[in-house]
Structure 1
Amino acid sequence: MKELVAALVSCILCTIHANGNEEPSLFRIHLEKKGIDFIRTVFLQQLRSQFTSFDVPDLSGDFSELIGTVHYTISNIHATDSDLVDEHLKVNLAPGEGITASVSEVHISLSADWSYKTGEGLFKIADSGSVHLSATIDLSITAAAGLSDGMPTFLVPRCDFHSYSVDAKFQGGASWLYNLFSHAIDSKFKHLFNSKACSKLTSGITELGQTAFENLPLNLSISDGVFLDLSLVKPPVFTNDSVKSFHRGLFTFHGAAQQQLLKKSTFSSPQTNKMFYLFVSKEMLNSGGVAFDESGALQTTVREIKETGMRVTTDSLGVFIPNLAKRYPQSKDMIIRISMEKPAQFSLVEKDQTINVPLYVDLAAFVLDNSTSDTTETPVFTLQIIIQGQYSVGFDYDTDTDHRLTLKLNKTDTTVGGKIAVKKSKIGSIPVDVLNVPLQVGISSLLRSLEKKKLPLPITCGVKFVEPEVRIYEDVIVLGTDVSVDPEGLACNI
């Protein structure tokens, strides 16, 4: 049951019926026909398992015979086998309903224990034995979802279960007596089967499905205070062979909303044969730039340039800035505080398949006076530097949760030439031209910090990407992939 529900949850993340005003969707998922066929395969595997472990409530009743009224009980009714094959199963998508899985003309074998008693006192007769039941069934179950405060709720709006051609064969004890009236028992068993199967399935699936929904990774922690909100914001779009889901896709710092200036982006799927397509809009990346700027994650204080091992002092910087050495003839320690003048804004370059990230950085230099117990900081100059980072996009699996895939930025080029300006100076002129090389080395760590930022995707455990491909367009990054599923691993969300 858990594996089946987990498969359902993975499939119907997109089947959300949203209410209220439509919000911008900066992250989207498209499930293509090939993916639907794969889901159908998952359903088939799980239904086969369920049809060999299905149980039915006990059945009891009375019938009249020449010897009097016979009271019977059939207990421990459980499925043992089925002939479910690929041809029996259909998975359909319909606008406004959800995902419907149906099987028809499936033969199920069940085993049970029987017992009876009749008469009273000295004339009391009782016996027991086993019974083999067979039935042909049709099943159609629809799984969908609602939306409450941006979070999905699991629904099973429809379940149709019908059994027919029921046959009971009794063995042991007075089985000859039961077999004479098995047609009457067949009818009662069919009624019990039809009336109890759906309520049992619906109750169990709803409870497990809601638990699984509550554990879906829709609010991801990226770093201290920075989160990625992937809650669903509008209803899905259904066709006969695809489902499109719409996610908020907004980075936030401690949950604070951002003012987004959005323009229409193209989210259509490329003409390739992949199961899933995930769309990361440029606006989503830019919201990350704002959130990281607010969090201070790209701010740092430099006391030593690690690449060279050089401490930041009036002597070491005085080689490049003579006026600094003149002002402080005795060597003093210094610090440089690096901060962003404004949030990073991303541009996507389709021709080169790269992401360009210009960083507007302020470098504020301070001289330290350690002559007293309280160190004082004297500001001497502030430089503005524009760093142009160029990155490619790749994949990396998180080693701690290997079911989760991350988006990795790989630096390919950095340029600084002609992009240095003096904002403030208390030591006179500063020869910015000669600072190109040392500053490019000194702030390379800032560019590398962007390489370490990984974008987790909402992939549930038990699911792994297979042969993912990335394409960069003007407004969106498209990740196309097939997937493999570990049916047992899917149940980790429940």
Structure 2
Amino acid sequence: MGMQSVVVACGALALCLALTTATNPGFVVRMTQAGLDYARQQGIAILEKELAQMKLPDFSGKSRKVRYEFSRLRITSFHLPHSQIIPISNVGLQVSISNAFVELDGDWRVKFHFIRSHGSFNLKVENVYMKIVLRLGSDTTGKPTISTSDCSARISKVRVRFSGKLGWLYNLFHRVIESKLRKSLEGKVCDNVAKSVQNELQKQVQTLPVTARIDDKIGIDYSLVAPPRATAQSLDVDLKGEFYSLAHRSPVPFSPLPLAFPSDHERMVYFGASSYFFNTAGIAYHKAGALVFEITEAMIPKKAGFILDTSAFSAFIPQLEEMYPNMPMKFRLSTPTAPFLTIGPGGISFQPIVDAQAYAILPNSSLAPLFLLSLTGNVSAVINVRSGRIVGSLDVGRIRLSLKDSAVGHFQVQVLQSIMNFLTSHLILPHLNARLDKGFPLPLLDRIQLSNILVRFHQNFLLLGADVRFQPRG
């Protein structure tokens, strides 16, 4: 094999490895141009305040025999009226600011031959143009990062007005003064932009929760699997999107599929929750032993018209009366395997399998196994967003029964159909829906509120859209 063939083969192998080891996200956050524009407005407001507090150094010098000194320079206003933000591929975001203007005042002192004078001055800076490039990335913990990778400021017009009748004196050195003030401002502006990005924006983006604790058993991993991706129309953030058991985290036995995000731009932000995201929830809760539910007599509502004991079931299973007469019963429901759902344009659906083990409670409080049923049925889900959390509710169709094991002889399970339907719809579903109504937190930065919610189903993922509002402190 020639050297060229070796190089080609190695390149092909490297490409295959790169493709096979690429990590698809389980959860995607997309900020559209509308969302970026809103973020720009909030950022510009913060930047205006930061630049208005900018400190300029005193300076002095000599021009055409005029010795001058300027001190106590103080910015009185810094306005950024026109700005634009655009995504830049492989970098992040570019913010352009035009027609900005600054006003500042201070004290002056001059000496010209035997003339000495001093006073105050006012300076107006107009037609300020700024270009700021923000580099987006991620750190070792999976949190997003933001930094200033490039900044330039240009000032085209500076006007100084002195107090008093010193126009002839000002004309002797105004070009030097205006030039020095322009250079000082241009340099200081970018220094303060970098500080503002570090002190404000970086701290804000770092509030994205890498992990979210759901309860004492389950958490969600929202760490970034890659740096944010800028496209011509949006900014995408790929997250792991994986539920896990707090007690013991183990690898998920399947990988997330690619998400074919639609080109929707009706909302400021979109969340793509893949079927992988929801199915890892089932695995985590199953491993944590949280998908176990017990039904006892105390839980049966009086309006049900039956008592959960062997006498109530003896009409369907005669052997019960002989073996365990008039003894209370209980059911223990559990999932032999983690539930696995599918998402399509029609919504979320799955067919969980539930084992229902019936026991007789003996006089000494020990349990005698009676029979083991397998329950399955079509379950559908309704999903929404409330207070920054994914909430939902389940509904189940007719339950199908089969007998897996029996210590009281064989019997026709269909005779228990109405009882199991009642227990499922009146006890199990309300319990599950109460938990789903508490919801699971979306990956949101601090002080972000969502409104105008949109919910759509696509192949292999759920799409949530929303407009955002930033809630200032205080």
Q: Give TM-score scaled by structure 2 length.
A: 0.82
Aligned to 2:323: 327
Sequence identity, in percent?
Answer: 20
Tell me, yes or no, if structure 1 residue 185 matches structure 2 residue 162.
Answer: no
Deviations 1:55-112 (A, max 9, x none): 232322133686x855x23214214254x44xx42222111111010113x2423222
Given that residues 335 and 365 in structure 1 are in contact (C-alpha distance below 8 angstroms), is that contact kept between their aligned partners in structure 2? yes
Given that residues 57 and 71 in structure 2 are in contact (C-alpha distance below 8 angstroms), is that contact kept between their aligned partners in structure 1? yes
SS of residue matched to 2:337:
coil
> Cα offset for 1:429?
2.5
SS of residue matched to 2:352:
strand
Given that residues 361 and 387 in structure 1 are in contact (C-alpha distance below 8 angstroms), is that contact kept between their aligned partners in structure 2? no
Given that residues 298 and 446 in structure 1 are in contact (C-alpha distance below 8 angstroms), is that contact kept between their aligned partners in structure 2? no
> Cα offset for 1:415?
1.7
Aligned to 2:16: none
C-alpha distance 172-224 of structure 1, shift in aligned 2 (>3 A): farther
Structure 1 letter corresponding to 2:134: A
- Structure 2 distance, partners of 1:307, 1:75, is 80
How many matched pairs? 445
Aligned to 2:412: 431
> Cα offset for 1:54?
4.5
Tell me, yes or no, if structure 1 residue 283 matches structure 2 residue 276.
Answer: yes
Given that residues 340 and 362 in structure 1 are in contact (C-alpha distance below 8 angstroms), is that contact kept between their aligned partners in structure 2? yes
> Cα offset for 1:159?
1.3
Aligned to 1:455: 440
Aligned to 2:11: none
- Structure 1 distance, partners of 2:56, 2:167, is 21
Aligned to 1:154: 146
- Structure 2 distance, partners of 1:420, 1:156, is 63
Aligned to 1:74: 71
C-alpha distance 259-295 of structure 1, shift in aligned 2 (>3 A): same
- Structure 1 distance, partners of 2:203, 2:43, is 20
**Alignment partner of 1:208 out of 200, 217, 227:** 200
Aligned to 1:314: 310
- Structure 1 distance, partners of 2:91, 2:59, is 38
C-alpha distance 262-316 of structure 1, shift in aligned 2 (>3 A): same
- Structure 2 distance, partners of 1:324, 1:233, is 57
> Cα offset for 1:165?
1.9
Q: Which moved further from structure 2: 56-65 or 286-295?
A: 56-65
Trace 1:21-36 onto structure 2 (pairs within 5 A). Answer: 22-36=22-36
Given that residues 32 and 265 in structure 2 are in contact (C-alpha distance below 8 angstroms), is that contact kept between their aligned partners in structure 1? no
C-alpha distance 131-265 of structure 1, shift in aligned 2 (>3 A): closer
Q: Please, what is the CA RMSD of the aligned residues?
A: 3.2
**Alignment partner of 1:97 out of 83, 91, 101:** 91
- Structure 2 distance, partners of 1:307, 1:76, is 79
Structure 2 letter corresponding to 1:158: D
Given that residues 274 and 460 in structure 2 are in contact (C-alpha distance below 8 angstroms), is that contact kept between their aligned partners in structure 1? yes
C-alpha distance 38-199 of structure 1, shift in aligned 2 (>3 A): closer
Structure 2 letter corresponding to 1:308: P
SS of residue matched to 2:281:
helix
Aligned to 1:410: 393
SS of residue matched to 1:223:
coil
4+ residue segments displaced more than 6 Å: 123-126, 173-176
> Cα offset for 1:290?
0.5
Structure 2 letter corresponding to 1:145: L
SS of residue matched to 2:462:
strand
C-alpha distance 248-180 of structure 1, shift in aligned 2 (>3 A): same
> Cα offset for 1:236?
4.3
Tell me, yes or no, if structure 1 residue 144 matches structure 2 residue 135.
Answer: yes
> Cα offset for 1:202?
0.3
- Structure 1 distance, partners of 2:188, 2:38, is 30
Q: Structure 1 regions of 5+ residues with no counterpart? A: 1-19, 399-403
> Cα offset for 1:289?
0.9
Trace 1:131-280 onto structure 2 (pairs within 5 A). Answer: 131-149=122-140, 150-171=142-163, 177=169, 180-254=172-246, 256-262=249-255, 264-269=257-262, 273-280=266-273
Trace 1:354-393 onto structure 2 (pairs within 5 A). Answer: 354-371=347-364, 375-393=365-383
Tell me, yes or no, if structure 1 residue 341 matches structure 2 residue 324.
Answer: no
Deviations 1:311-363 (A, max 9, x none): 5333344454332222122x33333222111111112343xx33222221122
Structure 1 letter corresponding to 2:401: I
Given that residues 370 and 408 in structure 2 are in contact (C-alpha distance below 8 angstroms), is that contact kept between their aligned partners in structure 1? yes
Q: Give TM-score scaled by structure 1 length.
A: 0.79
C-alpha distance 370-65 of structure 1, shift in aligned 2 (>3 A): farther
Given that residues 89 and 102 in structure 1 are in contact (C-alpha distance below 8 angstroms), is that contact kept between their aligned partners in structure 2? yes
Q: Structure 2 regions of 5+ residues with no counterpart? A: 1-19
Given that residues 130 and 152 in structure 2 are in contact (C-alpha distance below 8 angstroms), is that contact kept between their aligned partners in structure 1? yes
> Cα offset for 1:137?
1.5
> Cα offset for 1:178?
5.4
Structure 2 letter corresponding to 1:220: A
Structure 2 letter corresponding to 1:411: L
Q: Which moved further from structure 2: 428-437 or 33-42?
A: 33-42
Structure 1 letter corresponding to 2:89: P
Structure 1 letter corresponding to 2:215: S
Aligned to 2:60: 61
C-alpha distance 424-176 of structure 1, shift in aligned 2 (>3 A): farther
- Structure 2 distance, partners of 1:138, 1:311, is 80
- Structure 1 distance, partners of 2:185, 2:149, is 20
Structure 1 letter corresponding to 2:464: L
- Structure 2 distance, partners of 1:306, 1:360, is 23
Given that residues 169 and 182 in structure 1 are in contact (C-alpha distance below 8 angstroms), is that contact kept between their aligned partners in structure 2? no
Q: Which moved further from structure 2: 159-168 or 235-244?
A: 235-244
